[in-house]
Amino acid sequence: MPVKFIRNLFGRIGEKIRKSSDEIAQRSGMIGNAPVTKFRRGFSLFVGGINYLGLASCFVMVFVVAIDVIIRKMSHSTISIKGSNEFSAYFMIVIVMLAIPTLRITKGHVWVSMFVDKYPPRFRLYWLGVIQLIELAVFAMLTYGGVLKLMNFISTGTTTDVLNMPKWPFALVCLIGFAEMTIFMILDTIQTFMDAGNTPKQADTKPE
């Protein structure tokens, strides 16, 4: 019975991820059979599955905080869960770092349309490509730094101050988030320059 329940649960989760991926593809324009587009669509599906770990972490964190608040209230702050603040702070890392790549999946980045929309179409795409190259460089450096920090935590066995939790799993989550963003920026930069190259020059000419 438990095995069947777990199988059905993961089946429903997988179906929800696939439906969400299709909806995101429709909204963000990831429609087509180009290799970059197909890979981005598949990678988005993979990242969407990982995001459920962040969702589970959110439930755990909220549960611990709620229990701690109830205990403090009932005991007039004389009793509390040891390390609850530290626990919340580190699990917030998991929630945030796994949620950041979702911004790239939905292409929800900030776009100052009052200026950018005044540019000609091809120039607009090339300008966006340059900005994405800068973003790519930033996240590539963050990914490299994440690798170094992870290796340092593993080799030194660094733990948290109160709960003595090993820090390397949280460094690994940060690395995953940065690496996912780096891959997204590579794919999006390639796609942007391809779109710019495929945009006819006539599109830059304003109609008289």
What pLDDT, on the 0 to 100 scale, is given for residue 198? 79
What lies within 8 Å, CB to CB, of 116 at 6+ separation is: 124, 127, 128
To the nearest whole percent, how much of the chain has pLDDT over 70? 75
Average pLDDT over residues 83-93: 89
pLDDT band at 179 (very low <50, low <70, confident <90, very high): very high
Question: pLDDT of 113-133, one tens digit each?
Answer: 666 677 787 888 888 889 889
What lies within 8 Å, CB to CB, of 195 at 6+ separation is: 125
**Of the ranges 15-19, 72-76, 181-185, 199-203, which is most confident?**
181-185
Average pLDDT over residues 55-78: 86
Q: Which residue has the higher pLDDT, 74 or 51?
A: 74
pTM over 0.85: no
Average pLDDT over residues 11-35: 55
Average pLDDT over residues 20-32: 50
State the chain's mean pLDDT as an integer.
Answer: 79
Rounded to a whole number of angstroms, the CA Rg of the chain reads: 22
Average pLDDT over residues 192-197: 84
Name the amino acid, one letter, at 62.
Answer: V
What pLDDT, on the 0 to 100 scale, is given for residue 110? 67
Phi, then psi, of 159 in degrees rounded to 5: -125, 170
What pLDDT, on the 0 to 100 scale, is given for residue 148? 96
Average pLDDT over residues 104-112: 71
What pLDDT, on the 0 to 100 scale, is given for residue 178? 94
Distance CA 146, CA 178 (A): 8
